[in-house]
Structure 1
Amino acid sequence: MDRLLVVQLEAQGCDAEAWLNGFPVARVDAGRPRSSVPVHEYTLAGENRLELVLFPRPAAEPAALAPAPLACMADGHQRAHLRVLLPRIGSAADETQARSLAQLDWNPAAGTQFVAPLRLVQDVTLPIGFPRWRWLNAPPVPGPASPALLAMALAFVTTLADDLSRGQTDSFMAACRLRSEELAQAYQRDAETERARLREALLQAHAAQGLAWPAPVAADFALRPLAGGRLFEALRADGTPALQSASGADGRTWALPLRLTAVEGTMYVLR
């Protein structure tokens, strides 16, 4: 593989998110105004849905509790630009050195009225060949997660956290097997090598720092629907991954994103 498919997002004077096929892939704000992210695992052969969201709501906010959209007026300094680029590996991911496959721009003149959050949508056909990812076959769940699904996901993440706190990685690696296989396929890597690398990193972190993985509690646990309700992202109330460690001896934490589906009472991590 000599090229990467990358989403690049830039913004000024506003927060912005880039979504691809129902997945949030990048977010920028005043503290981090630019982001470039490889997106092979979210890309489809043929038509893809690209979305630019201005002034996005918090990730874990329940839709039923979201405030009404806010009427706003542009000040002439707000702008956001989303690009899908195909740079060569080792080259800068920018338009001067990479082929641009799609773009979405928001650059309103001063005095332009809009409603926030504002979502711009474009369907684009990308000249890229990817297999049909398993998440496309996950059963879509309409609306927010049910109490039963929330309870099932909470128990699932709690088991993973408890096992990782004991230095046991088998349950996490088994739960993520399908994701690991598809990520390796997406980036033309060896799946077993990638799985072994992740397992070793988790084991070393436990051995060196005795990392604790606090189990999530119901009041601080949310499921965000993604990909048309086919997957749900396990989050804390602050929008960070539900499966994350306490601070280690070096002051850093581990966070392991989980995009889940439930099939016949079993949870699977597909992204």
Structure 2
Amino acid sequence: MDKSLLLRASVKGQDALLMLNGMVLGKLTVGQELRLPVHEYIQSGENRIQVEAISSTAQNGAKPLSACNVDAQVLVEIQKDRGPGSFVNANVLFRLQGSVLRGQRFNKNRVLDTRVDLPVSFPRWRYLDVMQSPADSDDQERIQDFLLKMLTLFQGQKVSALLPYFSVRNREVATAYGLDLQQVHSTFASHLEQMCTHCTLNDKALDPAQWLVRPVRQSSIYALLNPEHQPLLQFNANQSGTLHKWPMHVGVLGSEVFVLR
């Protein structure tokens, strides 16, 4: 693929979450710009982009009052892809802006909520179908059990046992990009082994009290976050100390929990 679709987002006033089609892309921190490719979250035609304030509201409820002026900007860009993290010749397709003044009411904490048609032609991602499945009262418990098993495998460096957790996601990526499934599987296995052998899980990921399992809309999809609304799974490189963050969404169908993104 020689072109990539990116979102470039920032907020003023207070921190927020950037979401695309209900999926949590990442935390927007005041004064910092978030820039990331979004192909694995988009569909042909209409896509919903939202920025949701995290806190600092004057009261609770579905339409709380804002405690400060809040502004959000999201640029939808298409750029030439020159390898991992290298993009050039940005072409801005949409420039989206939203704001809430101090004392005004939020609508469900949203600073920006809009829909745009995006130029993509990927197959339909499975998360869009799972999103039609309603949440179950036992989902949280199933995800907790899933996390306990997965984190134990990470600590034990059990790469072969971890790989099936990511098979749904890897299969979709291979299909969408026209790649050989075995090659995708092999590449991911090598990356997983590097993370297991050369990195250590952050202590917060190992503490169930730090797990924030955030539902996506009313569906059986959940974003795995920590109390700071950052990705729950974070790894420290043993040699350099570099922090690696793994954003993750899981789906629950029946008694099965699996990684969607």
TM-score band by shorter chain is 0.7 to 0.9
Deviation of 1:179 after TM superposition, in Å, equals 0.7
Q: Establish whether residue 11 from structure 1 lines up as the match of residue 11 from structure 2.
A: yes
Deviation of 1:133 after TM superposition, in Å, equals 0.7
Q: For each residue in 1:99-134, what CA deviation from the matched residue of structure 2 results, as whole angstroms up to 9, or x when unmatched?
A: 3333321367xx775235333222222232121111
Deviation of 1:233 after TM superposition, in Å, equals 1.7
Q: Secondary structure at the match of 1:239?
A: coil
**TM-score calculated relative to the size of structure 2:** 0.79
Deviation of 1:205 after TM superposition, in Å, equals 4.4
CA distance in 2, matches of 1:180, 1:19: 22
CA distance in 2, matches of 1:3, 1:155: 39
Deviation of 1:212 after TM superposition, in Å, equals 5.6
CA contact (8 A) 1:169 1:202 kept: yes
Residue identity in the other structure for 1:67: N
Aligned match for 1:223, one of 204, 208, 213: 213
Say which is worse superposed, 244-253 or 131-140, in terms of deviation. 244-253
Unaligned residue ranges in structure 2 (runs of 5+) = none
Deviation of 1:203 after TM superposition, in Å, equals 2.4
Q: For each residue in 1:147-203, what CA deviation from the matched residue of structure 2 results, as whole angstroms up to 9, or x when unmatched?
A: x22221111111111112111112321011111222344455544333323322332
> In the alignment, what sits opposite 1:63?
none
Residue identity in the other structure for 1:229: S
Deviation of 1:255 after TM superposition, in Å, equals 4.1
CA distance in 1, matches of 2:172, 2:193: 23
> In the alignment, what sits opposite 2:73?
81
Bigger proportion of residues as strand: 2
> In the alignment, what sits opposite 1:40?
39
> In the alignment, what sits opposite 1:56?
54
CA distance in 2, matches of 1:48, 1:131: 15
CA contact (8 A) 1:260 1:267 kept: yes
CA distance in 2, matches of 1:220, 1:16: 19
Residue identity in the other structure for 2:140: L
Change in 2 beyond 3 A, CA 1:20/1:192: same
Q: Secondary structure at the match of 1:237?
A: coil
> In the alignment, what sits opposite 1:128?
120
> In the alignment, what sits opposite 2:259?
269
Unaligned residue ranges in structure 1 (runs of 5+) = 59-65
Q: For each residue in 1:228-253, what CA deviation from the matched residue of structure 2 results, as whole angstroms up to 9, or x when unmatched?
A: 52411223334343444567354345
CA contact (8 A) 2:10 2:30 kept: no
CA contact (8 A) 2:159 2:196 kept: no
**TM-score calculated relative to the size of structure 1:** 0.76
Residue identity in the other structure for 1:179: R
Residue identity in the other structure for 1:160: M
CA distance in 2, matches of 1:177, 1:20: 23
Aligned alpha-carbon RMSD (Å):
3.1
Change in 2 beyond 3 A, CA 1:123/1:208: closer
> In the alignment, what sits opposite 1:70?
65
Q: Secondary structure at the match of 2:150?
A: helix
- Number of equivalent positions: 250
> What does 1:1-271 correspond to in 2, within 5 Å?
1-32=1-32, 34-53=33-52, 55-57=53-55, 67-68=60-61, 69-72=64-67, 74=69, 79-90=71-82, 92=87, 97-106=89-98, 113-116=103-106, 117-138=109-130, 139-142=132-135, 146=137, 148-187=138-177, 189-208=179-198, 211=200, 216-226=206-216, 228-245=218-235, 248-271=238-261
Deviation of 1:17 after TM superposition, in Å, equals 3.5
> In the alignment, what sits opposite 1:62?
none
Residue identity (%): 24
Residue identity in the other structure for 1:221: W
CA distance in 1, matches of 2:110, 2:197: 46
CA distance in 1, matches of 2:198, 2:181: 26
CA distance in 2, matches of 1:71, 1:113: 5
